[in-house]
Amino acid sequence: MRVLLTQHAATAHLNLMVPIAWALKSAGHDVVLAGQPDIAGAIRETGITGVSVGKMSAVAERLAMMPPEEHIYGSGYDLAEERPEILTYAYVRDCLAAWASPLAFDLITDESMYDDLVAFCRAWRPDLVIWDSITFPGAVAARACGAAHVRTTFGRDHWARMRDLFLRLRGDRDEDPVADWLTAKLARYGAGYHEDVVLGQATIDSLPGWSRFPLERGPAYLPARYVPHNGPAVIPPWLVPPPRRRRVCFTLGVSGGEMWGGQGSIGVADLFDAVADLDVEVVATIEPGGLPDGRKAPDNVRLAGFVPLQPLLATCAAIVHHGGTGTTCTALAAGVPQLIVPAALYDERGLALALARQGACVSVQPAELTPETLRAGLLRLLDEPSYADRAAALRDDAATAPSPADLVRDLEDLVARHQR
């Protein structure tokens, strides 16, 4: 069968989809990755055939030029909000309305991506479209060309949680901002609205089952093992010998720098002051010339630039990071205890707290971050064996989930049912 996978212009989101694309290709299917020109180079480096759709996204540049009140992060509505006292019907409705608008998704994927993706799908005729869960052009294009379609999560599924909550709270009210928004998108291509455009005909979820929300009207989940993909890389020679001291990884991922203007939750000054006199080796994925104000790293900190995270974590006793899905799940797959200072980009705080409840993480909130709290949290991870034990147990549990290769049969069956 022909399969199109699509995501918006974020390398971190692309990396989450690459193992699924390769599993399908290895099973003999014809696979294409579609993305905006911003990530055409990253798509090419996956080895999967790509197609460029839409205009340059340039989200970081556009956000930097916009007043905060004109984009979703200044709207006052948080899709990851979980406090019951906040989640009234009015809040949930208006939150979904804010996200289903130019404040959010239309900023990331404008009309040109919809037009180009629909045109490509009508010409190429995929049997299946797999779309990142905030890349709605994929769902619209599937409806426009008659293909089966499946969404993938990029973190805990707050979009499905909020949709479920909205439908339960709405009662007899005749309003649905998400359906109205998607109906207008579909009408451009002569297609009608269906509820599966919101959550897919199924949803591939690569996060562990303990992180999933219990939903009354949620999607049909297809659990899949998270397989780390860090992009093209070569293991540096210094990473091959076993470390002489306990090694700690420090990284802030790629999304903050690539999409959100370099936002980070941990300053290098705090990190350096926290670890300078500890008997550890810190590997920081910071370019050697990337320190501000001519600051120098302590002797026990290696400024390594980009290092493939999976082989690096195989040598580490702990990781300090921002809470992004790719970094968190790669550390889970490696069985490494995590110190997370959550960024405020999506659900980093919630994911960190969920992992902390599993006993494999220490979470330090940005407002509480000092060299002292960072140091204390790191020493807990390194010196209390329970964290390493729980991280290993979560790794072993995650390894029992269906692999991307196992997932292929489910996708083939879904397409067969759709075509019947």
Please give the Cα distance from 360 to 271 (Å, whole number).
20
Residue-wise pLDDT for 222-235, tens only, equals 999 999 998 888 99
**3-state DSSP call for residue 163?**
helix
| DSSP states along 103-131 | TTHHHHS-HHHHHHHHHHHHHH--SEEEE
**3-state DSSP call for residue 376?**
helix
Please give the Cα distance from 233 to 197 (Å, whole number).
36
Question: Token pair for residue 184?
Answer: 């207008």
Report the length, in residues, of the chain. Answer: 420
Sign for the CA dihedral angle at 158, 161, 162, 163 comes to positive
CB atoms closer than 10 angstroms to residue 190 = 9
Please give the Cα distance from 336 to 348 (Å, whole number).
18
| Residues 291-310: b if buried by 16+ CB within 10 A, e if exposed | beeeeebeebbbbbeebbbb
Residue-wise pLDDT for 305-344, tens only, equals 989 999 999 999 999 999 999 999 999 999 999 999 998 7
Strands 318-321 and 301-303: unpaired
Residue-wise pLDDT for 283-310, tens only, equals 999 888 777 667 789 999 999 998 999 9
Residue 61 has pLDDT above 90, yes or no: no
Average pLDDT, the chain: 91
Model confidence, pTM: 0.92
Residue-wise pLDDT for 51-60, tens only, equals 999 998 877 6
Helices and strands: H and E segment counts in the chain = 18, 13
